[in-house]
Structure formats: C-alpha cells, structure tokens
Amino acid sequence: MDALKMKPKSLRTSFTNAERNLVQLLAILETNAKDIDKFHAINSQLEDKFSHLDAVQNEMSVLLLEENTAEYETDFEAAENYRDRYLELK
C-alpha cells in the first residue's frame, strides 16, 4: 500500500513538470506568432512603400531621360541602390 501511495506523488510531480514545460512552450509560440504577425505587417508596409517609391521613380526617370540631363545617371544609381536594398530585404 505504501508503494502505491508513492506513485501518485511521483506522477503528479512529473505531470506538473510536463505542464510547466508545455505552458512555457505555448508562451514562446504565442510570442513568436505575435512576432510573425508583426513581421508580416512590416513586410506589407515595406512592399507598399517600395511600390509607391518605384512608381514615382519610374515617372521621374522618364522625365530626366527626356531632358537628357546628367542628373539621370545619378538618380538612376540611387534608385538602383534602393531596389537592391529592397530585394536583399525580401
């Protein structure tokens, strides 16, 4: 009978440890899910901002090219720098 009385105590301790581990893991997963949601939101913002930048840049490049100014090359290099940075982030 004494051996049987010892089993629940050991099993309860094991259960409590497993429960604690599960709660900790769920907390980590919940945090990561929030981080993933935040990542997706920031990624969407980045795509939106680059899309607008790219559209304006294309209009500006056409105008600078029509005027045949030396400014076109400088502007083109700056635009390519932003495009490269965007692609690296993606």
In this predicted model, what pLDDT tens digit does every residue of 13-41 receive, in sequence order?
Answer: 887 888 888 888 888 878 887 778 888 88
pLDDT at site 2: 62
The more confidently predicted of residues 4 and 81 is 81
Beta-carbon contacts of 9 under 8 Å, excluding residues fewer than 6 positions away, are none
34/23 Cα distance (integer angstroms) = 16
Q: Are 83 and 54 in contact (CB under 8 A)?
A: yes
In this prediction the pTM is: 0.62
Q: pLDDT digits over 48-79, tens only? A: 999 888 888 888 888 888 887 788 888 888 88
pLDDT at site 30: 80
